[in-house]
């Protein structure tokens, strides 16, 4: 199984609770398990870290640059 996210990539919760979901960065890709890839993520707004499954996060969409 290939990984969807890379270390250093900024992600958001796939199903956020609230109007302003926290932003996270991938700090480690964990070894593959039988049901889905897992990642260690760190909140950018605090020092908290947690482990999430690949289906629990989504890539942060970049806003188009205004020139």
DSSP code at position 28: E
Q: In the numeric block, which tokens belong to residue 26?
A: 């991938």
Supply the DSSP string of 43-64, one letter for each residue.
ESSSS-EEEEEGGGEEEPPPPP
- Model confidence over 8-23: pLDDT tens digits? 999 999 988 877 788 9
- Say what the pTM is: 0.80
Express each pLDDT in 36-56 by its tens digit: 899 999 999 888 999 999 999
């Amino acid at each position: 199984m290939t990984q969807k996210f890379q270390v250093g990539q900024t992600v958001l919760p796939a199903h956020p609770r609230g109007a302003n979901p926290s932003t996270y960065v991938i700090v480690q890709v964990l070894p593959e398990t039988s049901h889905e890839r897992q990642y260690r993520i760190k909140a950018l707004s605090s020092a908290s870290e947690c482990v999430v499954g690949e289906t629990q996060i989504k890539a942060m969409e970049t806003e188009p640059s205004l020139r």
